[in-house]
Amino acid sequence: MLEYAALGWASCPGARPLQGGSRACSCDRVGCPDPGAHPLSRAWQMQATTDPAVLTRWWQHEPEANVILPTGRVFDVFDVPAAAGLTALASMDAAGAATGPVAANGDRVLFYVATRNVAEDEDEWWSCPLDVGPSAIDEMPGLRWHCRDSYVLAPPSVLPSGRAGSWLRPPDGRPLPDPLRVLDLLADVCD
């Protein structure tokens, strides 16, 4: 979490899957619909921080908590099925295109890109059919665009499958790629 804070990426603690079943979650919600893949607090957007003291305190209190990164602040995330993501990543590498950070989260690949949420006036912000919030995940099996009001589970978080997410291309502090260029490549592969 401190590594993310050093990049200027806010984070907050997330629930974790419990051993003994893919539907068991560390949250206190009976019948949790998204075990181990959501923030611990409903106030996650306000709580997410880059403050090292706060982050250290949170993870000392809850050392096994997953890592939630809010999107639409510093970065957006394109979230695609693993097969399409790996194909797109190979194409980007072959073309010498900048990929930016890329993570593997189970059957999904996440491409971190510069955010498009730069409007000075909130009324100027626009959404599109690819925008996805946490509640709409199941409705978007293909390409998902996590931007404002959404979040992603970041490595080394433990996924509901019991495996940990991992970086295919870890963040290194370089500027994030233009989302429209990455979207163009991903849209071709996801069609």
Could you read off the pLDDT of 33-78 as tens digits, one per residue? 888 889 999 899 999 999 999 999 999 999 999 999 999 999 999 9
pLDDT at 187: 80
Does residue 108 sit within a domain? yes
Reduced to 3 states (helix: H, G, I; strand: E, B; else coil), residue 181 is helix
- pTM for the whole structure: 0.86
Mean per-residue pLDDT, 20-45? 82
What is the residue range of 61's domain? Answer: 1-120+133-188
pLDDT at 83: 92
Pick left, alpha or beta for residue 166 (phi over 0 → left; psi -120 to 50 → alpha; otherwise beta): beta
Does residue 109 sit within a domain? yes
Averaged confidence pLDDT in the chain: 85
Pick left, alpha or beta for residue 107 (phi over 0 → left; psi -120 to 50 → alpha; otherwise beta): alpha
Q: Which two tokens stand for residue 70?
A: 């809010």
For residue 11, which of 102, 74, 100, 78 has the smallest C-alpha distance?
A: 74
Does residue 126 sit within a domain? no
109-133 tens-digit pLDDT: 999 999 976 555 444 444 444 444 4
Q: Could you give the angle at which helices 82-95 and 179-190 cross, rounded to 10 degrees?
A: 120
Does residue 127 sit within a domain? no
pLDDT at 117: 65
Structural domain total, the chain: 1
Reduced to 3 states (helix: H, G, I; strand: E, B; else coil), residue 109 is strand
